[in-house]
Structure 1
Amino acid sequence: MKKANNLILLVLLSASQYVFAQKQYQFSVDLTQPQNDELTVNLLTPAIKQKEAVYHLPKIVPGTYSINNYGSYASNFQAFDKKGKALKVEQTDKNSWRIANANKLHRITYQVDDTWDSPEIQEDVFEPSGTNIQQDTNFVLNPFGFFGYFQGMERLPYQVTITKPSGFYGSTSLVNQTKDAASNKDVFVTQDYHELADAPIMYNRPDTVWLKVGNADILVSVFSPNNKVSTKDLAADIKPVLEAQKDYLGGTLPIDKYAFIIYMSDRKDLTRYGALEHSLSSFYYLPESMSAEQLSETMKNVAAHEFFHILTPLNIHSEEIGDFDYINPKMSRHLWLYEGLTEYAAHHAQLQAGIIDLTTYLDRQEEKIENSRTRYNDALSFTEMSRNVLETYKDEYQNVYEKGALIGLALDLRLRQLTNGTYGTKDLMRDLAKTYGKNKSFKDEELFDKITELTKPEIRDFFRKYVEGGEPLPLEELFGAIGIQFNPAGEKREVEKAFGVNFALAPGTKTIMIANISNATDLGQRLGLKSMDQIVSINGQPFNLDTYASVLQSYDEEYKVGDKVTFVVKRKVAEDEVKEVTLSADLREATITYPTLEPEANATAQQLQLRKAWMGQAGR
């Protein structure tokens, strides 16, 4: 009888596993078997009732605000039934495959090239949102670059099995379901595609540190190809910032686990770097050539920003984010919230914790004011820009870190004005997180009214004028309320290092030339740079497409007042004659018009009280 019961149980378990398998995606990738810098993706598909199904890889993913077309990196897409018979597949666009007789579909397979070194594929994927396949060395798996979904079936569960090289570790916010530490397979399970796409994984021989911050376990993982950067050092830089943010959020964090995944690039032609936020992790792509001091400062500021995304969009997001459409996205109007207020909080938390002083904080705000007014359209509606950021206003996007942060600052000061210092944006974020939370989206058009309901009636007018409208932020009034004088046309002395010329690539070469000198600075004019000059070297270092980022970084970090700057250029001096010309000039201080912020010497008791409340010093 006992044997019969066990047999029945075994049959029932097998049947239940078969049924469950038909209700989830089962992906597998073998990192030990790359071919021609490509990996093979295998999928046992969920059951499909329709005669036709469309499989997508994303066109765009949250946080990037640009078209990436991940399907461009997939090839040899094939679909099969249970008997191994090929089904008809038609690729309908860069990111979509239509499968006939989909009700018989059992398995899909395709190859994926990585985005980091596939120049023949003409897509411009920002490295932190990209993929890397470096055999026996490093694999960066941003899941949306490898794994897709069937149209209308994004909410089914996912199981992803990764076969990894010996000694490799997968750094991620996801929980590895494999209990055997010696196993060469990792298994990750997510509730749907949105959760999977939100969790990058980096595989390499581990250099990791775990931090305990309040109630949360924080993973810091670094890959440094030449072992120039230590995870231990970066973790030590990050921890005080995270502790400050925990305190800023009231002493606890709304997460249990978080991962900082950091790739240090040794590319000589590195022209851009940065990070991409996720709900429970962030991925960093940074130059290994950075000095220890510069890397430390960069990590503190960038990590502070990315980590604060645990609030938004994790716990505060619109329907456009909560139900993100990876093929035909609808942009939210609230970039001021997702990026702007996050950037504001990242610096404000450091001020309140004493990591930076008031002078340093105000210096950073001066820079944001200057950038927002000189590099971007300061009269543009921020909600309008947000809704149309993919096309019409894509060149305005970076202003979310400048004016977007200033909107956060202005909102905080206005709230404190109206509440005698007792309520600010960090309180607002807490209340919004309680109102919505991880599983509830707000309606884009209702957020300003909801914030007004949670705060004060006057706040609706603030949004109408300065966020929906294009009126200049009332910085003079708001800074004045905390005893800080704002002069939009102040003066500043600084070392003039900018040349004020436009660089361009000589057609068909890696040679960089001077394209335009109409805006040359005093330094550029004293150097005598001319249009069509082909640059051979700057300060004795070869200057071309492969080296220009590192050369300019070295110049910016190392040169000071009195140092001589030297260009060697090839210049056309006659119809058929080109000569190498050496151009030199010394670095000088210059007085420039610049917005200034200075604490008032005779601030009133009321102004000082409000400033202390804003700085988190009330009662001290």
Structure 2
Amino acid sequence: MNIKFLSASVMMGILLSSCSSTKNAKNDLAVSLPIETSINLNNVTNDKAPVIINPGRFTVSSVTYRLPRVVQGTYSVSDFGKYIDDFKAINYKGESMPVVKVDANTWTIANAKQLDKITYLVNDTFDIETKGGIGGEEPFSPSGTNIEPENYVLNLHGFIGYFDTLKNNQYKVDITGPADFVRTSALQTVDSKTSEDGKSITTSYFAPRYFDITDNPMMYGDLDVEEFMVGDIKIVLSVYSPNKVHTAASLKETIFKMMEAQKAFLGDINTTPRYDIYLYLSDGADDSPKGFGALEHHTSTVVVLPEDMDEEMLASSMTDVVSHEFFHIVTPLSVHSEDVHYFDYNNPTFSKHLWMYEGVTEYFATLFQVSEGLVTEDEFFNKIMEKVQASKNLNDAMSFTIMSENVLKAPYKDQYLNVYQKGALIGMCIDIMMREESNGHRGILSLMKELSNKYGKDKPFEDDKLIDEIVAMTYPSLRDFFDNHVIGDIPINYNQFLNRVGLEIGEGKVETSYVHNAGTLLFGANPEKGQVFFIDAVKDNSFWNEQGVQANDVLKAIDGELFTMANANDLLQKMFMWSPGTDIHVTLERDGKDIEINTTTTKSYTIGDGIFEKADATDAQKALREAWLKG
């Protein structure tokens, strides 16, 4: 038992209790007190959770209360105020006060000196997201909220807002739920009370300021939780699988191996004593989320993925997705601009450097897997080639800094996904250039370590000066690269960089999937007949060739489930998630006759563009490649 921690917790509980008991006393001013908030999961009606906000006494004539329009880590509008119903301001007599709704996320209350508390109901975004939304953009699932009898995804920025003048106030958060709920949160717990009938527990949490409300998600309900150590980091893995298809225990080894490799890759970059991973597995129902991916926080990440992934595909997806989020502890969490440090949730400005925040992070999440032996070099090269091809499908002649700074606006917002493609490739090019300039000794990871030492989580950099600083810290050759390909709009010739490590982009045998050949879909559709069929490209797919599949063969059923136009996307997604070693039963129709394929999947290949070793690669280039891939 950590006595110091226990004492601090007890003292904090006393402090908060004392604060709450001084209502109408001389020291009850809102500017001096933690903002008391409560969410009652026992009183949910129609998927709406009641929230009470008790700020203390105001001395100003009016106050403004907001929910976030945009939250950190996302680069789109969420408008969490759209999900609020029955907003009321209550005075000290228990009477309703007039409220003016200024916009989707903002409420102004006059006669604020009389304001006692605010109450409202919160709709969950998972439900509304999948029913077509309620106008405008919708929150990306991992930043959203879920309210259902068995599971509550509590991204607190969807439940709790802030007063304009009190963003730096402390918060006391009370969450009441059934006693049999499993609850996980990285926020400091200061108290826990069980109801007299033993059916309910109210847990009190402490947040130093509003940022900590947005930065510490929670999950409540029928959860499966595993806690384990990776070196000196405590990992808390919370999994909600509605049909019990996957468990935290089944993912534990994958997460342990991944986190252990990440720690080895990062070396002496400071880490966190605890890291929470919240995984919500969507069963594909109408009211389940469809936006798959993750959202990072300083010490946690929320992940949403399909439940019907097989164990190997889920493990692979978790490695890709969670490793990306964990690498955010480097940037923007340790290295970030003033736009990030002083984030405005209602009217944010954005840094020019998404190439670094998201691109370099994605590059690390790809590179560490080959560096630490989780994937082969060929698998790594395939991932890089996929990013090259995907980046070419977006606007390859657009300034990355201009796109980043204007990411909420057209035409730039439609190019945001390129941060995970070209952004990662920018990181790769810088890495190779630094390796070459330093005879293999320095790379982009060492650059990020130097930037972390110079700045850190509490000291932001000036946005317009970052590239100049990087050039000064590294090599003059990077100046032209930034001017031409990051600030400028000249597409990158990746062969110029790959050649330096004895590689080239060329045509050859490349691994592909069961639904496409290196990006070319294998299927067409006839909506009038309700049919999905193989097209000519199937002849170039080794797996389907071996099964004797021909162009115009109609997909009739997969593992006994009939193809319809309504479920075609779901079944193709299921095929996409097949991995080698999967037992499959496919029914095709050819010339009016059924053809049954009962087999076990093997790796599939096609002829396409890939990254291959140059025939004339020199020993020096091979040595530089080794330094690049293995550090």
Q: Same fold (TM over 0.5)?
A: yes
Which deviations, in whole Å up to 9, do the C-alpha atoms of 1:554-590 show, x marking residues without a partner? 333459999977479xxxxxxxxxxx99999999988
Who is 1:34 aligned against?
44
Q: Secondary structure at the match of 1:463?
A: helix
Who is 1:331 aligned against?
350
CA distance in 2, matches of 1:512, 1:131: 36
**Counterpart AA for 1:87:** M
Q: CA deviation at 1:544?
A: 5.7
CA shift in 2, pair 1:399/1:226, >3 Å: same
CA distance in 1, matches of 2:451, 2:345: 26
Contact map agreement 1:273 1:285 (CA 8 A) in 2: yes
Which deviations, in whole Å up to 9, do the C-alpha atoms of 1:260-303 show, x marking residues without a partner? 00111212456442211112111011111111111111111111
Q: CA RMSD in A?
A: 3.5
Q: CA deviation at 1:237?
A: 0.4
Who is 1:379 aligned against?
397
Q: Secondary structure at the match of 2:257?
A: helix
Contact map agreement 2:395 2:415 (CA 8 A) in 1: yes
* TM-score, normalization by structure 1: 0.85
Which deviations, in whole Å up to 9, do the C-alpha atoms of 1:373-432 show, x marking residues without a partner? 1x2111111112212222312221111111111111111111111111111111111111
Contact map agreement 1:410 1:473 (CA 8 A) in 2: no
Who is 1:532 aligned against?
none
Contact map agreement 2:441 2:627 (CA 8 A) in 1: yes
CA shift in 2, pair 1:468/1:489, >3 Å: farther
Q: 1:478 aligns with which of 486, 492, 497?
A: 497
CA shift in 2, pair 1:608/1:555, >3 Å: closer
Q: 1:526 aligns with which of 540, 551, 561?
A: 551
Q: Secondary structure at the match of 2:236?
A: strand
CA distance in 2, matches of 1:277, 1:145: 16
Who is 1:551 aligned against?
571
> Given the alignment of the two structures, is residue 226 of structure 1 paired with residue 243 of structure 2, yes or no?
yes
Q: CA deviation at 1:593?
A: 4.1
Q: 1:345 aligns with which of 346, 359, 364?
A: 364
Q: State percent identity of aligned pairs.
A: 35
Q: 2:297 aligns with which of 268, 273, 278?
A: 278
Q: CA deviation at 1:452?
A: 1.6
Q: What is the correspondence of 1:244-255 to structure 2 with a 5 Å cutoff?
A: 244-251=261-268, 253-255=270-272
Contact map agreement 2:399 2:487 (CA 8 A) in 1: yes
CA distance in 1, matches of 2:371, 2:359: 18
Q: What is the correspondence of 1:395-474 to structure 2 with a 5 Å cutoff?
A: 395-474=414-493
CA distance in 2, matches of 1:280, 1:307: 8
> Given the alignment of the two structures, is residue 391 of structure 1 paired with residue 393 of structure 2, yes or no?
no
Q: 1:176 aligns with which of 160, 181, 189?
A: 189
Q: Give the number of equivalent residue pairs.
A: 581
| Larger CA deviation: 245-254 vs 105-114 | 245-254
Contact map agreement 2:58 2:113 (CA 8 A) in 1: yes
CA distance in 2, matches of 1:319, 1:115: 30
CA distance in 2, matches of 1:583, 1:386: 52
CA distance in 2, matches of 1:493, 1:243: 28
| Larger CA deviation: 267-276 vs 155-164 | 267-276
Who is 2:340 aligned against?
321
CA distance in 2, matches of 1:470, 1:228: 47
Who is 1:610 aligned against?
624
**Counterpart AA for 2:241:** S
**Counterpart AA for 1:195:** D
CA distance in 2, matches of 1:31, 1:398: 36
Q: What is the correspondence of 1:134-173 to structure 2 with a 5 Å cutoff?
A: 134-135=148-149, 137-173=150-186
Contact map agreement 1:24 1:157 (CA 8 A) in 2: yes
CA distance in 2, matches of 1:127, 1:416: 38
Contact map agreement 2:558 2:586 (CA 8 A) in 1: no
Who is 1:51 aligned against?
61
CA shift in 2, pair 1:193/1:312, >3 Å: same
Q: Secondary structure at the match of 1:552?
A: helix
**Counterpart AA for 1:167:** D
| Larger CA deviation: 40-49 vs 310-319 | 40-49
* TM-score, normalization by structure 2: 0.83
**Counterpart AA for 1:74:** I
Who is 1:126 aligned against?
140
**Counterpart AA for 2:472:** E
CA distance in 1, matches of 2:479, 2:253: 42
CA shift in 2, pair 1:361/1:337, >3 Å: same
Contact map agreement 1:271 1:549 (CA 8 A) in 2: no
Contact map agreement 1:268 1:547 (CA 8 A) in 2: no
| Structure 1: runs of 5 or more not aligned | 1-9, 530-534, 569-579
CA shift in 2, pair 1:71/1:614, >3 Å: same
**Counterpart AA for 1:328:** N
> Given the alignment of the two structures, is residue 203 of structure 1 paired with residue 229 of structure 2, yes or no?
no
Q: Secondary structure at the match of 2:492?
A: coil
CA distance in 1, matches of 2:244, 2:366: 30
Contact map agreement 2:188 2:207 (CA 8 A) in 1: no
CA distance in 1, matches of 2:82, 2:182: 28
CA shift in 2, pair 1:226/1:347, >3 Å: same
